[in-house]
Amino acid sequence: MNMEAITKILFISLLFLSSAFLARSGEVDDESEFSYDENAENGPANWGDIHPNEWGTCKNGTMQSPIDLLNKNVEVVSNLGILQRYYKPSKATLLNRGHDLMLRWDDGGYLKINGIQYQLKQVHWHTPSEHTINGKRFDMEGHLVHETHDGKKIAVIGFVYEIGLSPDLFLSIIEKDLRALADKKNTERHIGIIDPNLIKLDGQKYYRYNGSLTVPPCTEEVVWTIDGKVKTVTRRQMKLLRDVVHDEFETNARPIQPLNGRPIKFNKPWPFA
Ligand SMILES: *[C@@H]1O[C@H](CO)[C@@H](O)[C@H](O)[C@H]1NC(C)=O
Ligand SMILES: *[C@@H]1O[C@H](CO)[C@@H](O)[C@H](O)[C@H]1NC(C)=O
């Protein structure tokens, strides 16, 4: 081999290495890294193998989400109280993450559970729902994600939707911006002040259990609340959300994970009706 050929090979190897490095240090938000295709190499069963050190919990975790909220595993209680949401209107950004659509707040207030304050960070949606109730899957599920100031504790409120005739108020408000974002992957759009209180919940009837994030890195010790109200979304609104994401897959719901004997509570104000 002459000197020129060696230089060429060296150069190509260098290019290859650096692009591999860039891909590796890319954000979790990179849509190419994991998929929802159960037959794919980067599908849900293999998420833990994609980055074993960072995402290993997706595979070896024992408190993973989502789960089926099966009646026979649920203990009905009345002592968890009304959900304490202290939300406030705040500047918001819409972000197309490729695998989902997220709305992030700068300072949207907080949620209080057992005396701990979790700051509201973002809301995002999954279609169909990730959690099932007695085996029933709903058309869509929203996740309000909260974190303590130190970022160490996470609390998520999940709420499910069924397709119906009346549009969802909150999605109606951001519809114009959703349309503007369609087809632009991994882009952000500042959408002004948005009031998180416009996401209406029951807040009194809800499931509570300990689980994990439903996307890599599948971090555990997430306090889950699944609100008892089934919301309504129009087919058109749901399609808009899906179209914005424009994933190669129609769905973005992680399969049901083993309960492994975890307690599930259902809070209902006394007297039980
Ligand atoms: C599970 O995976 C995580 C991340 O790789 C690792 O830190 C942890 O030690 C693993 N736990 C077990 C029980 O293998
Ligand atoms: C979740 O875990 C915490 C800490 O281990 C525990 O105190 C709490 O009772 C658990 N919650 C449920 C609903 O099991």
CATH number for position 112 = 3.10.200.10
Q: Does some domain include residue 273?
A: no
CA 146 to centroid of ligand 1, rounded, Å:
24
Q: Does some domain include residue 40?
A: yes
Q: Dump the DSSP string for the chain.
A: --HHHHHHHHHHHHHHHHHHHHHHTS-TT-TTT----TTSTTSGGGHHHHSHHHHTHHHH-SS-S--EE-GGGEEEES-S-S-EEEE--EEEEEEE-SS-EEEEESS-EEEEETTEEEEEEEEEEESS-SSEETTEE-SEEEEEEEE-TTS--EEEEEEEEEE-SSPPHHHHHHHHHHHHHTT-TT-EEEEEEE-GGGS----SSEEEEEEE-SSTT--EEEEEEEEEEEEEE-HHHHHHHHHHH--SSS---PPP---TT--EEEE-PSSP-
According to the model, what pLDDT value does residue 32 have? Answer: 62
Choose the residue to mutate in 62, 152, 210 for probing ligand 2, maximizing ligand atoms within 8 Å of C-beta: 210
Domain count, the chain: 1
Task: Identify the nearest ligand to the CA of 47 by its number.
Answer: 1
Which residue's alpha carbon is nearest to atom 12 within ligand 2? Answer: 209
Provide the b/e sequence for 125-161 (b: ≥16 CB within 10 Å): bbbbbbbbbeeeebbbbbbbbbbeeeeebbbbbbbbb
149 is catalytic: no
CA 152 to centroid of ligand 2, rounded, Å:
16
pTM of structure: 0.87
Ligand 2 atom having least distance to the Cα of 264: 13
Q: Does some domain include residue 63?
A: yes
Ligand 2 atom having least distance to the Cα of 210: 1
C-alpha 111, offset from chain centre: 17
CA 63 to centroid of ligand 1, rounded, Å:
13
According to the model, what pLDDT value does residue 180 have? Answer: 86
Which residue range forms the structural domain that includes residue 70?
Answer: 21-267
From first to last of the 273 residues of the chain, give the pLDDT tens digit: 565 665 555 544 544 444 443 333 333 445 568 999 889 999 999 999 999 999 999 999 999 999 999 999 999 999 999 999 999 999 999 998 878 889 999 999 999 999 999 999 999 999 999 999 999 999 999 999 999 999 999 999 999 999 999 999 999 999 999 988 876 767 899 999 999 999 999 999 999 999 999 999 999 999 999 999 999 999 999 999 888 776 666 789 999 999 999 999 999 998 765
Ligand 1 atom having least distance to the Cα of 53: 5
Q: Does some domain include residue 6?
A: no
According to the model, what pLDDT value does residue 179 have? Answer: 87
Q: Does some domain include residue 49?
A: yes
Pocket lining for ligand 1, CB < 6 angstroms: 52-53, 56-57, 60
Ligand 2 atom having least distance to the Cα of 208: 13
Taking the C-alpha atoms of residue 38 and residue 231, their distance in angstroms, rounded to an integer, is 28
Which residue's alpha carbon is nearest to atom 3 within ligand 2? Answer: 210
Q: Does some domain include residue 5?
A: no
Q: Does some domain include residue 245?
A: yes
According to the model, what pLDDT value does residue 17 have? Answer: 43
Q: Does some domain include residue 14?
A: no
Which residue's alpha carbon is nearest to atom 4 within ligand 1? Answer: 56
